């Protein structure tokens, strides 16, 4: 009599893919916990006070030269980033919301995001259509005051040209305390010889 026992069903070939998907999801959650944007909780710490170098040049997204001295005398939110940097991209929406905050629209605070990609065209393609209200620039080299061990790196520069705050790592920037910090910083009075470079003596 023939064995009528049914053969076992073939093994599902999608199990490895399901395992890979689970591993990827776990890694993504771990990334968000470790490298995702974090709350800014150290704004009350004393600022570095380092003098900022204004005598250097960058590029706008069309490749034209922009002098960092154009921002002299303003409160600055400076963010160093790159299109290939995941944590940088993760915090960009919060920077855009901060730059669009109604309390920061009086022109006293400038938001300058400096991309360090190899080519400015890569940056231009990446930001196309995003409508970010920040000034997006490109730099092949940075002055020492803006050099860090990693990116994203963010710096607050007071109108007198000194670092008031710095932070490395992805953060949530559109918190009320950040808005207050920038408004207070922008209200700092600037001496005339700091707000503008000295004029040469008359001939």
Q: What's the CATH architecture for 39-195?
A: 3-Layer(aba) Sandwich (3.40)
> 33: burial class by Cβ within 10 Å (0-12, 13-18, 19+)?
exposed
* Residue that wins the pLDDT comparison between 43 and 182: 182
51-96 pLDDT per residue, tens: 999 999 999 999 999 999 999 999 999 999 999 999 999 999 999 9
Q: Where are the domains of the chain?
A: 39-195
22-38 pLDDT per residue, tens: 554 444 444 444 557 88
* Beta pairing class for 57-59 and 109-115: unpaired
> Nearest CA to 161 among 99, 74, 77?
74
Classify the C-alpha dihedral 158-51-132-31 as positive or negative: negative
């Amino acid at each position: 009599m023939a064995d009528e026992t049914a053969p076992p069903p073939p093994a599902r070939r999608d199990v490895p893919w399901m395992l890979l998907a689970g591993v990827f999801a776990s890694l993504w959650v771990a990334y968000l916990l470790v490298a995702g944007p974090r709350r800014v909780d150290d704004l009350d710490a004393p600022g570095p006070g380092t003098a900022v170098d204004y005598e250097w040049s960058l590029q706008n997204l069309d490749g034209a030269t922009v002098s960092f001295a154009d921002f002299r005398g303003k409160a600055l939110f400076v963010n160093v980033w790159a299109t290939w940097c995941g944590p940088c991209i993760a915090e960009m929406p919060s920077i855009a919301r901060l730059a669009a905050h109604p309390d920061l629209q009086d022109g006293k605070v400038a938001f300058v995001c400096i991309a360090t990609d190899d080519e400015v065209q890569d940056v231009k393609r990446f930001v196309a259509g995003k409508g970010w209200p920040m000034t997006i620039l490109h730099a092949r080299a940075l002055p020492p005051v803006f050099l860090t061990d990693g990116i994203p790196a963010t710096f607050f520069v007071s109108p007198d040209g000194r670092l008031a705050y710095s932070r490395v790592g992805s953060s949530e920037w559109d918190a009320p305390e950040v808005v207050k910090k920038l408004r207070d910083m922008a209200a700092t009075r600037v001496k005339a010889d700091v707000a503008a470079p000295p004029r040469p003596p008359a001939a």
